[in-house]
Amino acid sequence: MARYLDVHPINPQPRKIAAAAQILRDGGLVAYPTDCCYAIGSALDNHSGKERILKLRGLDERHHFTLVCRDFAQLGQFVHVRRAIFREVRAATPGRYTFILPATKEVPRRLMHPKKKTVGVRIPDHPVVAALLEEMGEPILSSTLLLPGVDKPPTDGWTIKEDLDHQLDAVIDSGECGADPTTVIDFSSGLAEVVRVGAGDPTPFE
């Protein structure tokens, strides 16, 4: 059964954040709210985390995973941000965007796109995620909590707990969450390509 953590949306309780981080470190899969919608995540060194997410979402190995980062400095450790696009990415973070960029050697090969050697990165604007990332000290391997055959992610933690109780190890609930995933911008070619329109305004990248 998944542990249910009721966390304050603005002032997250350190004890509960520490508990969620420990579950991730112990190899758990955690559902958590972001500034867009619910996501599911695992620790970077969790070798079964990627496969569990793919199975839960009904995806194959070509899926672009996202490293959810604490700040821009951390983001820069895991992806190459060319000088020509630095300002565009920096201006949109933190925010409701995921950027696909070439991965650095800090990213385990198994987490990269198998052909492009790229990975998604984002910095959410949400106090709960910020606290969790601070506690972890490293990015969280994440994907939108969008189940097969469903158009929108769930918007509250209790529903996730009820529906996925035996497929997750913890659910963080901090109140009603949005139902639109991030807008995804692919910079892997050096030019911006909007590959998914979501919660972030795509206009600056079109």
Per-residue pLDDT of the chain (206 residues; tens, 9 = 90+): 999 999 999 999 999 999 999 999 999 999 999 999 999 999 999 999 999 999 999 998 888 899 999 999 999 999 999 998 999 999 999 999 999 999 999 999 999 998 899 999 999 999 999 999 999 999 999 999 999 999 999 999 999 999 999 999 999 999 999 999 999 999 999 899 999 999 999 999 98
Note the pLDDT of residue 60: 86
Query: Which residue range forms the structural domain that includes residue 151?
Result: 3-205
The pTM of the full predicted model, rounded to 2 decimals, is 0.95
CATH code for the domain of 24: 3.90.870.10
Note the pLDDT of residue 62: 82
Note the pLDDT of residue 109: 92
State the total domains in the chain. 1
Residue closest to 95 by CA, chosen among 8, 182, 2: 182
